[in-house]
A and B are shown apart, each in its own frame.
Chain A
Amino acid sequence: MQRNSQEKSADAGAPVWLDSQPPSQSAIVLGTALTGQSPSVVSRSAGYRMIESLEIENFRPFKKAELSGLKRVNIVVGDNSSGKTAFLEAIFLASASNPQIPITLRQWRGLEASPIGTTTDVYDALWNNLFNNFDRSKTINIAMHGSENDSRSLAMFFRQEAELTLPLKQNGGATGELKPSTGIYQPFVFHWKSPATPDVILTMRSTASGLQVEGIMHESSMRSAFIPAHAQTSNQYTANLFSSLSKQNKELEFVSALKLQFPSIQTVSVELEAAASAIFVSLPWLKQKIPLALYSNAASNLASILLNISASPRGIVCVDEIENGFHYKRHSSVWEQIYNFADVYETQVFATCHSLEFLRAGVPVVRKNHGDFCLIQVLQEGGISRARINQGLDAADAIEHGLEVRS
């Protein structure tokens, strides 16, 4: 496997970790499967209303988890390392038909997209930790059942019967010289099923020129986006989302929301700077517009969340650590804005949260719209995670009466 300078870049917006190769009908090289993706990746499609129930089997810390009664806004709580992020990852993986996602998820977790080592080590590292307790003999199943009889599932597994020994490459060390080596690997298979589109079966193969995907990709029947906790949002990506909204003359609601939260903002626009686009804002005390990200991290985070919601109508937006960056006095209005956008665009939001202060601020909007909220508690015991759902009103009452709901 070859590494190049791009791989070493911390820019998650261009996660190229394999050799470039022109895509063909039957083979798509990772790194070209998604273009211009950022820490928030969107898969495009339409037609889905809402996930009402979910099953996760053999995925990361989840041996088996079943949840029903999911709502428009689903807040996920739990201790550190309980499996909250893995819960979001499961939903995101199943919602999009894209084999790049596990690799992008690695990057968002701060891991190398292209681990260093022998090729088989690298290959295994990419997939093994997707399995509960690394048990790659099992199949990972993630099934989502939605309103209007829609459903969608993803199975991920190693093709057991196809163990192969192939001549592979490995990094030769400090000089970067490539030396031949051999490795035993099993092809890794993604199988998405959805009544709305043909099955997507993609097989990952390690070859001398890099990792290849065999199979034909179809767009997912569900729009989805993932906003990770610790990767900086790509300004270019959010600028693209804003631009798309603006082209449809639908940007006013977003701009109003941003101005409501940050009244100093006078105008919002997409501008080019150093050949890259970004959202810029004008402020009364500055002669020039400045990038939104320079004005305020919180404004940038809010923009990212609201734009991803508006770009995923009838789809899903997963937000890891939704409270990040927001000052306490904005919490209530952030809740209201996120809920309003989710309601207007019929987007389902799954968001993890650690902050009791943020949860408390959400009680009024949850109470007012309790049928649209639920609280999902994730608990890990002995290495196995479980998830449990609570109705919005119960959760609001518990938070209101000072009870610890974060497990």
Chain B
Amino acid sequence: MAITLTEELVLLCEGQADKAFFTTLLRERSAMPKFNIPFPESRAELEDGREPLGGRDNFGVMLRAIRVPLGFRNVKGVLIVADSADNPEKTFELICDQIKMAPGYEVPGALCELSERTDTSPHVGVMTIPDESNPGGIETVYAREILETRDWLAGCIKSFLSCGEIHALDWPPEKADKARFHSMVAAIYESDPSRAASMIWKRRGATLLMDINAQCFDSIEQRLRSFASQVG
């Protein structure tokens, strides 16, 4: 079934895991603005069994693509959300290059700033996760939330990720946080130790591993609200 875009605000994210998080956040927290949340996912890649490219390298394609279903709608703002990865500023530059690949769109001047709205472009903003100052990704925030209620786990995970020939903690920050998060899931989530980040907010009878109302997600909520209110 094709994805229908109907809202005035679009949140363009990197993949299924991000979409699952933002969908849950926007649904569960009160009086949140309404966003459509598409992400790059090539059907041909999926059908051919190729690993989807997805992610920030396809934002340009997606910006062009969303113009087709959104053509008649009064879209006011497109918020591009990506992992900070190793360097939020560098990620921002990469995303700006992607925006330039979609003629007509205006490029914002900085992270969490809005571009002007024009005849060919809605307001465009870029935000990174965990925030605009730190490296990492959504798993960084997830790991933080899990440790909020299980501080004893930090030492175990640290020991595991630096045990023997394992040097995962020396990996780039985003990768290290992914390793940290998935190690936590494997260690404590009996319902599904191999649960993927894209499925982490699905209930199917199991107790959720994290609380979407936890404080560590508040800053993300605030930035979404801020974007919506600035767009007007």
Residue positions of A touching B, CB distance < 8 A: 356, 360, 363-364, 375, 377, 379, 386, 388, 390, 393-395, 397-398, 400-407
How far apart are the CA atoms of A364 and B47 in the complex, in Å?
Answer: 14
11 contacts between A and B (CB under 8 A): A375-B68, A377-B71, A397-B61, A398-B68, A400-B44, A401-B43, A402-B43, A403-B3, A404-B3, A404-B5, A406-B2
B3-42 with Cβ < 8 A to chain A: 3-5, 38, 40-42
Cβ contacts under 8 Å, B5 to chain A: 403-404
- Closest chain A CB from B51 CB (angstroms): 16
Q: Which residues of B contact A405 (CB under 8 A)?
A: 2, 68-69
Interface class of chain A by DSSP? mixed
Of A377, A386, A400, the contact of B42 (CB 8 Å cutoff): A400
In Å, the complex CA distance between A375 and B44 comes to 20
> Known contacts A377-B72, A388-B72: does B3 contact A402 (CB below 8 Å)?
yes
Which chain B residues border A404 with CB–CB below 8 Å? 2-5, 69
Q: How far, in whole Å, are A98 and B61 apart by their CA atoms in the complex? A: 45
B67 contacts partner chain A, Cβ-Cβ < 8 Å: yes
Within 8 A of A (CB), among B91-125: none
Least Cβ–Cβ distance between A381 and chain B, in angstroms: 8
Known: A356-B2, A393-B64, A394-B64. A401 touches B42 (CB 8 A): yes
> Do residues B62 and A401 form an inter-chain contact, with CB atoms below 8 A?
yes
> Is the C-beta of B66 less than 8 angstroms from some C-beta in chain A?
yes
When the two chains form the complex, which single residue of B41, B44, B65, B72 contacts A398, counting CB atoms closer than 8 Å?
A: B65
Given A400-B43, A403-B38, do A390 and B72 touch, yes or no (CB 8 Å)? no
Complex: A403 Cα to B44 Cα, angstroms: 13
A401 in contact with B4 given A363-B44, A377-B71 (CB within 8 Å): no
Closest CB pairs A-B (n = 7): A404-B2, A398-B68, A397-B65, A398-B65, A404-B4, A394-B64, A390-B68
Residue in A360, A400, A402 with the greatest tally of chain B CB atoms within 10 Å: A402
Q: Are B69 and A400 in contact (CB under 8 A)?
A: no
Contact between A402 and B71, CB atoms less than 8 A apart: no
Chain A residue at minimal CB-CB distance from B67: A394
| Bound CA span A363–B43, Å | 11
Residues in A with CB closer than 8 Å to B4 are 404
Bound CA span A401–B62, Å: 8
Minimum CB–CB distance from B63 to chain A (whole Å) comes to 9
**Residue picked from A360, A363, A390, A403, most chain B C-beta under 10 Å:** A403
Whether A360 pairs with B43 at a CB distance below 8 angstroms is yes
For B72, list chain A residues within 8 Å (CB).
377, 379, 386, 388, 407
Q: Which residues of B contact A394 (CB under 8 A)?
A: 64-65, 67-68
B61 nearest in chain A by CB position: A397
Contacts A397-B61, A397-B65, A403-B68 known; 8 new A-B pairs at CB < 8 A? A364-B44, A379-B72, A394-B68, A398-B67, A400-B42, A401-B41, A401-B65, A405-B69
Complex-state Cα separation, A13 to B66, whole angstroms: 44
Q: How far is the CB of B215 from chain A (nearest CB, A)?
A: 34
Please report the C-alpha to C-alpha distance between residue A363 and residue B48 in the assembled complex, in whole angstroms.
Answer: 14
In contact, B67 and A401 (Cβ under 8 angstroms): no
Q: In the complex, what's the smallest C-beta–C-beta distance from B68 to chain A, in angstroms?
A: 4
In angstroms, Cα B44 to Cα A395, docked, is 15
Give the shortest distance, in Å, between B80 (CB) and chain A (any CB): 15
Q: How far is the CA of A356 from the CA of B1 in the complex (A)?
A: 9
List B contacts of A401 (CB < 8 A): 38, 40-43, 61-62, 65
A403 and B43 contact, CB distance less than 8 A: no
CB closest chain-A residue, reference B38: A403
Q: A398 near B69 (CB under 8 angstroms)?
A: yes
Q: Is the CB of B67 within 8 A of A390?
A: yes
> Which residues from A are CB-within-8-Å of B64?
393-394, 397-398
Nearest residue in A to B70 (C-beta to C-beta)? A403
CA distance A327 to B62 in the complex (A): 30
Which residue of chain B lies nearest to A404 when distances are taken between CB atoms in the complex? B2
Closest to A401 in B: B65
Q: Choose one: B38, B65, B67; the contact of A400 (CB below 8 Å).
A: B65
A402-B41 contact given A356-B2, A397-B61, CB 8 Å threshold: yes
